[in-house]
């Protein structure tokens, strides 16, 4: 469970700050940007929504509802102060006590203050511990409502599970105690496993996607320090240690000559052959335009690149002052296109039919500018009105899970659009793509 089921008072401000840009909503955590609002057409609706969210977590594995964190595509984005947090705490506590039955043991709701980006932030945190007396119901309109949280969603409790849950409640206490202890041991082992990881661990031994992602993040964090960096990676949702034969000449040729690459342009231009000696993990080497490409035998494919190597390469050619921190629009658009075409070619050649998880990251971009529209002479739009400034300190992270038959250009367009959104530029200012999301530069 997130925060290991600790009391709200035991959660540190840094743990909450670390959620931003890295934590998705899941079984144990739910983000709310604002208070539960009253509907003018249904003045009781907000009470029902509070009861539903709290009861669903109580009937699952418990968790936390954090009011004051915004999310996009389920990923925590930033903090927002909750007005009159103390009064909201009283309302939530009173509503849960009145409508939820049986009462949830050790339930707590508290205001929480922290400082973020030089601002004083006031949150409200609701903590629902794993309940020993589930199933719980909330009574509304004279009827009993049983709901349960599944992943990051709330659904009606299936009758088959509900009957079993009622039966379990009447098992001898020792059975429930053993089950809870086994659950706790399992969760603690999972947390301990990740906490004990080092960058030297073998990625091919990771059977869970989240473990592999954690390991590769450790390796990436050793690289970037505080410099602006770009990273994009993909991996099959079903990990198989030998999914890709990195000794195969066909795979090596794809890596050296990625499909549809444009000579002298921006994107994935292949590994240098002298750096392509396979290792026990896979193959890795420098991209011809700078940065590094990694292909593991389990299908994990990553490209990482310092921003000043590729994304600002136009300075010396187009008289852009070095003091201006900016992203060149053509690179922002073309990099994910060429990467995803490479992913598709490698996976097709290797016969990988699993769903694919893709994530793109821009790190340390505070103060960077992104011009809107296609670059124009002589200053490539740097001084035009259509430009956005990234003012946040958090990374720009975009991710999707797609089927194996995904269309690379369309997925790349989605990732690019999220970047433009972060710079507060409408999609009309995205160059290089047609209306269907196809990359149109040749």
Convert the pLDDT of each residue in 57-113 to its tens digit.
Answer: 999 999 999 999 999 999 999 999 999 999 999 999 999 999 999 999 999 999 999
Per-residue confidence band for 291, with pLDDT thresholds at 50, 70 and 90: confident
Structure tokens at 420: 């433009």
151 neighbors 27 (Cβ within 8 angstroms): yes
With pLDDT > 90 as the criterion, what percentage of the chain qualifies?
51
**What confidence score (pLDDT) does residue 147 get?**
93
Strands of the sheet containing 100-101, edge to edge, are 100-101, 137-140, 143-145
Residue 247 in tokens:
């000794």
- When mean pLDDT is compared across 94-103, 259-268, 410-419, the lowest value belongs to 259-268
**pLDDT value of position 374:** 75
Task: Supply the pLDDT for residue 395.
Answer: 93
- Asked whether residue 195 carries a pLDDT value surpassing 70, the answer given is yes
Reported as a pLDDT band with limits 50, 70 and 90, residue 270 is low
What is residue 380's DSSP assignment?
Answer: T
User: DSSP string covering 99-131, please?
Assistant: HEESPPTT-EEEEEEEEETTEEEEEEEEEEPPP
Mean pLDDT of the chain: 85
pLDDT score, position 174? 46
Residue 142: band (very low, low, confident or very high) from pLDDT cuts 50, 70, 90? confident
Averaged pLDDT, 210-237 = 90
Contact between 99 and 107 (Cβ < 8 Å): no
Distance CA 215, CA 90 (A): 42
pLDDT > 90? residue 127 = yes
Helix (H) or strand (E) holding 51: helix 45-58
| Count of helix runs (H) and strand runs (E) in the chain | 11, 19
Name the percent of the chain lying above pLDDT 70: 82
pLDDT at 217 over 50: yes
Q: How confident is the model at residue 378 (pLDDT cuts 50, 70, 90)?
A: very low
Q: Using pLDDT thresholds of 50, 70 and 90, give the confidence band for residue 19.
A: very high
Mean pLDDT value across residues 293-301: 94
């Amino acid at each position: 469970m997130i925060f290991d089921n600790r009391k709200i008072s035991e959660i540190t401000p840094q743990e909450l700050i670390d959620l931003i840009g890295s934590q998705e909503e899941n079984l144990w955590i739910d983000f709310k940007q604002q208070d539960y609002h009253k509907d003018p057409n249904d003045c009781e609706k907000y009470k029902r929504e509070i009861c539903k969210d709290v009861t669903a977590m109580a009937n699952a594995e418990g968790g936390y509802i954090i009011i004051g964190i915004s999310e996009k595509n389920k990923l925590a984005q930033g903090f927002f102060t909750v007005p009159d947090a103390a009064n909201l705490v009283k309302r939530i506590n009173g509503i849960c006590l009145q409508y939820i039955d049986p009462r949830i043991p050790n339930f707590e709701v508290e205001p929480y203050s922290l400082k973020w980006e030089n601002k004083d932030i006031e949150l409200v945190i609701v903590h629902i511990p794993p309940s020993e007396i589930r199933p719980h119901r909330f009574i509304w309109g004279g009827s009993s409502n049983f709901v349960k949280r599944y992943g990051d969603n709330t659904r009606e409790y299936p009758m088959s599970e509900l009957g079993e849950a009622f039966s379990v409640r009447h098992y001898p206490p020792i059975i429930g105690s053993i089950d809870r202890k086994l659950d706790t041991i399992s969760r603690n082992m999972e947390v301990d496993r990740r906490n004990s990881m080092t960058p030297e661990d073998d990625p091919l031994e990771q059977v869970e996607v989240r473990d592999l992602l954690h390991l590769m993040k450790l390796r990436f964090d050793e690289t970037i320090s505080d410099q602006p960096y770009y990273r994009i990676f993909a991996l099959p949702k079903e990990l198989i240690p030998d999914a890709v034969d990195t000794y195969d000449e066909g795979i090596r040729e794809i890596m050296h000559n990625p499909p549809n690459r444009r000579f002298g342009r921006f994107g994935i231009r292949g590994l240098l052959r002298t750096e392509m000696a396979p290792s026990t993990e896979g193959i890795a080497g420098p991209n011809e335009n700078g940065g590094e490409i990694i292909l593991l035998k389990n299908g994990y494919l990553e490209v990482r690149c310092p921003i000043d190597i590729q994304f600002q390469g136009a300075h010396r050619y187009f008289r852009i002052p070095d003091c201006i921190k900016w992203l060149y629009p053509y690179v922002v658009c073309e990099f994910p296109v060429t990467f995803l075409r490479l992913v598709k070619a490698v996976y097709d050649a290797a016969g990988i039919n699993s769903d694919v998880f893709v994530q793109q990251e821009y790190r340390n971009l505070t103060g960077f500018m992104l011009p809107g529209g296609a670059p124009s002479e002589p200053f490539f739009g740097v001084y035009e009105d259509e430009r956005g400034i990234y003012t946040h300190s958090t990374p720009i992270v975009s991710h999707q899970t797609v089927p194996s038959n995904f269309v690379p250009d369309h997925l790349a367009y989605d990732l690019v659009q999220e970047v433009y959104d972060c710079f507060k530029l409408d999609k009309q200012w995205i160059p290089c793509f047609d209306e269907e999301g196809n990359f149109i530069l040749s």
